[in-house]
Amino acid sequence: MKTTNFYQDKHILILGLAKSGSAAAKLVQQLGASVVVNDKKPYEENEAARQLEKCGIKVVCGAHPLELLEGIHMIVKNPGIPYSNPLLVEAAKRSIPIVTEVELAAQISEAPFIGITGSNGKTTTTTLVFKMLEESNKKPLIAGNIGTVACEVAQSAKADEVIVTELSSFQLMGIDTFQPKIAALLNLFEAHLDYHGTKEEYAKAKANIFKNQSEGDYAVVNADDAFVMGIAEQYKGKIVPFSATKQLKTGAYVRDGYVCFNDEQVMKVSDIVLPGQHNLENILAAVAMVKLYGGSNEAIHKVLTTFTGVKHRVQFVGEINGRKFYNDSKATNILATKVALSAFSQPIILLAGGLDRGNEFDDLKPSLEGVKAIITFGQTAEKIERVASEAGIQFIKRVDNVEQAVPAAYELSENGDIILLSPACASWDQFKTFEERGDMFIQSVHKLK
């Protein structure tokens, strides 16, 4: 871990706990800061707060009193807390810096970073890069939204290792010096508008992954997304494109049935076991990053001929009487569901619905052609039903939750059908996480068996 005097005798407020808040609090205390932790969850129910107290860290629970800002030099906030929080609004007025724990990781890490963001495909791509570099003996570590909190990983990372980090727009809004050696922006879709307000603000947050890069760094970007390319061109990193639809002069692409990087054939596309056009995009992005970091073709081939996917991301759950069940609970927006639907040629029964973020679902309509029935649930049920009806889907049924949706879908299904959970919505109206939603789907399928 790099030594820094930046936090010595500073007063730091950690806003929000969970894993990232706890890790950040312990780290800045170790670096010599006076730390106060503030979390909305009541003290009696807050095990994480009580554990921090045992470490000699002051905790304030149950509310966000503005008095906490007195004498504070910096706030390290949980990524999920919006900047509209009154405490953060007042902090901004007082010009108190607000960062996320990724910034702490950047300040102390001896290892370089590979940063990966985008609206969809982050986890699959991050996992692929990690596995390919591991097979190449490049000593990767994995952090961020996947794996361990970045500032925790960075504390023990060595200079000959590399931290492969999945990054959300929420995390990227709170960086100052974070500079990944290789940064990837996979795609951009209108998402998280309840947090960011507009697509422009969302894009601005994602673009932060490039903002500190120099001419010696690399920006891996989707050449099939003009908006993404336009963002990357505003920064200093060397652009390395990838494309699943056209041949490129440089970067990662498909030519004559091969995955290629620059002019080199890496492996046959037909040897890849991960299905779907969307996954081909993720694969090409991963190949570009791994080749830039010196990974081997042999390692890439080994991973892509054995890796079948990440849990909750078009995950095959099982087959019952000729019906195949897929869990795509990670599809928290329309684009992700469109991508999942495009992966299948068989008739589909779609399970969709969840948190209402204020958007409509008309963009989903063209992708519903192969959907024979739809089961809805959650706050957005009525909106999705309207679009399904306009798309000509005859069988539309509303249920209370995912657990009820599985047997309802089975009743409408026939041999050869795909039963797909791909909600097109966040899960927070009924679940704490999309993982919890996906686990309920998996349990319901097993119960049906």
Contact 254, 244 (CB under 8 A): yes
Q: Answer yes or no: is 415 a known binding residue.
A: no
Please state, in angstroms and rounded to a whole number, the distance separating the CA atoms of residues 37 and 57: 7
Give whole-number Cα distances, 224 to 187, 266, 310, 335, in Å: 9, 21, 24, 15
Which is nearest to 146 in space by CA: 277, 310, 276? 310
Q: Residue 208 is which amino acid? A: N
**122 assigned binding-site residue:** yes
What sign has the CA pseudo-torsion 145, 149, 150, 156?
Answer: negative
In 3D, which of 12, 16, 74, 76 has the Cα closest to residue 48? 16
Tell me how crowded residue 55 is: count the other CB atoms within 10 A of its CB.
12
- Helix (H) / strand (E) element for 128: namely helix 122-135
- Residue 259, strand partner residues: 254, 267
Residue 119 known to bind ligand: yes
Q: CA 34 → CA 7, 27, 372, distances in Å?
A: 9, 11, 60
380 labeled binding residue: no
Residue among 347, 362, 352, 359 nearest 331 (CA): 352
CA distance 75 to 264: 47
Measure the N-to-C terminal CA separation of the chain; round to a whole number of Å: 51
Question: Is 367 annotated in some ligand binding site?
Answer: no
Is residue 103 classed exposed, middle or buried when 0-12, 13-18 and 19+ CB atoms within 10 A define those classes? buried
The full DSSP string for 15-28 is E--HHHHHHHHHHH
What six digits make up the tokens of 411? Answer: 């009743």
Q: Virtual CA dihedral for 223, 226, 227, 233, nearest 10 degrees? A: 70
φ and ψ at 352, to 5 degrees? -145, 150
**How many residues can be counted in the chain?**
449
**Which residues on neighbouring strands pair with residue 420, listed in sequence order?**
326, 350
What letter would DSSP give residue 65? Answer: -
Binding residues: 118-124
Binding residues for ATP: 118-124
